[in-house]
């Protein structure tokens, strides 16, 4: 497909290519939909195979952000920035300041925060060139922790799924596989252990698994290539996307898939197969929305305690999705998209009302 065909397929408003020869910056900013507000999305740095892979990643993730904000009742649209580079080698102050100037040139249509491969230090450099950095990362009241809030939301989403599948909204004594124990996965492991869940953890970095096991001795460690066919109640992907594909789908022995990773499914077809197999897949853009609750609807930071409380709203959001899926006998991810699209369309109709008339010189 051409770039325009890809944009039309996903329903994108814009795709911005950024190049700075001085710093060797190669970046793509995808703006999916701004009906509800400015396109909000993280800045991801990854050593992509080629520009096609980078473009597709930006398009997929920005669309997920649109749906996430809509279902979470936030007044933001969906966007995503991807930096094509090695986060271990290519970073510099000038690199991120150059990227900040590109963001500034979008005049507020895109607002960003740290994502995979970027951190608070990088954002500080970006923010020297633009104010369009999400306040829950730049100056969160009391220094909130995005990973902790995301994990809190995932836990509440799991509870809603357990209520649907097992009849009780508790993870106590449930066998939970956590794939990826980075920041989100580690916080989730702590929360699940406190709730009495039985943990199986996996990560490509052995030291990460060992740190979690040192803290939670009962957590069982599994090699990454042995994780999908574990007999468990909940499979929780908390690393990269696309992990549920045709090959791994055949191995799954769980009742629920619910984690903090984005774009967990390789394709919509896999989501339909999960539905047919009787595995409840919690839509990633619903269950991982906790981080959005660190910012109020008008991009003002909120206190960490308030953001953790707001993350509990994911339980209600997930219940609405699962009830809609049950009524219409469709996979939950399709029900969630319907809910998101309906809100965007309804608000979009209201926004045809003119609020700032142009100066006509009369």
- At residue 143, does pLDDT exceed 50? no
Question: Mean pLDDT across the stretch 141-150?
Answer: 68
DSSP 265: B
pLDDT digits 0-9 by tens, 218-242: 999 999 989 999 999 999 999 888 8
Name the CATH superfamily for 146-344: NAD(P)-binding Rossmann-like Domain (3.40.50.720)
Least confident range of 34-48, 143-157, 210-224, 312-326: 143-157
Question: Mean pLDDT across the stretch 305-309?
Answer: 81
| 4's tokens | 């325009």
Q: What pLDDT score was predicted for residue 217?
A: 96
Residues 112 and 119: their CA atoms lie apart, in Å, by: 12
CATH 1.20.120.140 given to domain 3-65+76-133 = no
Question: Mean pLDDT across the stretch 295-314?
Answer: 76
Question: Mean pLDDT across the stretch 21-26?
Answer: 96
User: Dihedrals φ, ψ of 260, to 5°?
Assistant: -95, 0
| 51's tokens | 């520009």
User: Which residues belong to CATH 3.40.50.720 in the chain?
Assistant: 146-344
361 pLDDT band, cuts 50/70/90, is low
- At residue 139, does pLDDT exceed 60? no
pLDDT digits 0-9 by tens, 158-171: 999 999 999 999 99
pLDDT digits 0-9 by tens, 77-128: 999 999 999 999 999 999 999 999 999 999 999 999 988 899 989 999 999 9
Q: What pLDDT score was predicted for residue 147?
A: 86
- At residue 346, does pLDDT exceed 90? yes
DSSP H or E segment with residue 7: helix 3-10
CA–chain centroid gap for 123, Å, is: 18
Residue 151: count other Cβ atoms within 10 Å of its Cβ. Answer: 27
pLDDT digits 0-9 by tens, 247-299: 999 999 999 999 999 889 999 999 999 999 999 999 999 999 887 876 656 56
Q: What pLDDT score was predicted for residue 348?
A: 92
Contact 18, 25 (CB under 8 A): yes
Q: What pLDDT score was predicted for residue 293?
A: 74
- At residue 28, does pLDDT exceed 80? yes
360 pLDDT band, cuts 50/70/90, is low
User: Which residues belong to CATH 3.40.50.10860 in the chain?
Assistant: 3-65+76-133
Q: What pLDDT score was predicted for residue 362?
A: 54
Active-site residue flag, 80: yes
Question: Which of 9, 56, 80, 251 is labelled catalytic?
Answer: 80
- List 235's β-bridge partners, or say none: 177, 257
| Mean pLDDT, the chain, whole residue set | 92
- At residue 144, does pLDDT exceed 60? no
**Tokens 């999400």 -> residue:** 134
Question: Mean pLDDT across the stretch 1-18?
Answer: 93
Q: What pLDDT score was predicted for residue 141?
A: 40
136 pLDDT band, cuts 50/70/90, is low
Question: Mean pLDDT across the stretch 33-53?
Answer: 95
Strands laid side by side in the 198-202 sheet: 220-221, 198-202, 175-179, 234-237, 256-257, 280-281
Question: Mean pLDDT across the stretch 180-192?
Answer: 95
């Amino acid at each position: 497909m051409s770039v325009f065909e890809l944009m039309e397929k996903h329903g994108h408003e814009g795709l911005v290519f950024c190049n700075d020869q001085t710093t060797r910056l190669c970046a793509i900013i995808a703006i999916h939909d701004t009906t509800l507000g400015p396109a909000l999305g993280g800045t991801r740095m990854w050593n992509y195979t080629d520009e096609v892979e980078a473009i597709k990643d930006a398009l997929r993730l920005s669309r997920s952000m649109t749906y996430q904000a809509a279902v979470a009742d936030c007044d933001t649209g969906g966007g995503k920035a991807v930096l094509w580079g090695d986060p271990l080698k290519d970073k510099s102050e000038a690199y991120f300041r150059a990227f900040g100037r590109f963001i500034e040139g979008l005049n507020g249509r895109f607002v960003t925060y740290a994502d995979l491969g970027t951190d608070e230090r990088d954002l500080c450099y970006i923010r020297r060139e633009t104010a369009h950095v999400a306040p829950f990362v730049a100056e969160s009241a009391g220094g909130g922790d995005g990973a902790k809030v995301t994990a809190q939301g995932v836990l509440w989403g799991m509870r809603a799924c357990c209520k649907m599948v097992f009849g009780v909204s508790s993870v106590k004594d449930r066998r939970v596989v956590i794939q990826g124990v980075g920041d989100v996965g580690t916080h989730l492991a702590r929360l699940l252990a406190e709730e009495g869940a039985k943990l199986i953890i996996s990560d490509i970095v052995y030291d990460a698994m060992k740190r979690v096991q040192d803290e939670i001795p009962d957590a069982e460690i599994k090699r990454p290539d042995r994780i999908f066919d574990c007999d468990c109640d909940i499979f929780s992907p908390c690393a990269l996307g696309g992990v549920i594909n045709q090959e791994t789908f055949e191995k799954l022995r769980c009742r629920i898939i619910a984690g903090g990773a984005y774009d967990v499914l390789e394709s919509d077809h896999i989501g339909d197969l999960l539905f047919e197999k009787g595995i409840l897949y919690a839509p990633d853009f619903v269950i991982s929305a906790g981080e959005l609750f660190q910012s109020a609807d008008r991009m003002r930071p909120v206190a960490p305690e308030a953001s953790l409380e707001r993350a509990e709203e994911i339980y209600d959001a997930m219940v609405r999705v699962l009830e809609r899926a049950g009524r219409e006998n469709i996979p939950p991810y399709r029900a969630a998209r319907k809910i998101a699209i309906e809100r965007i369309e309804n608000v979009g109709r209201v926004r045809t009302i003119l609020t700032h008339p142009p100066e006509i010189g009369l």
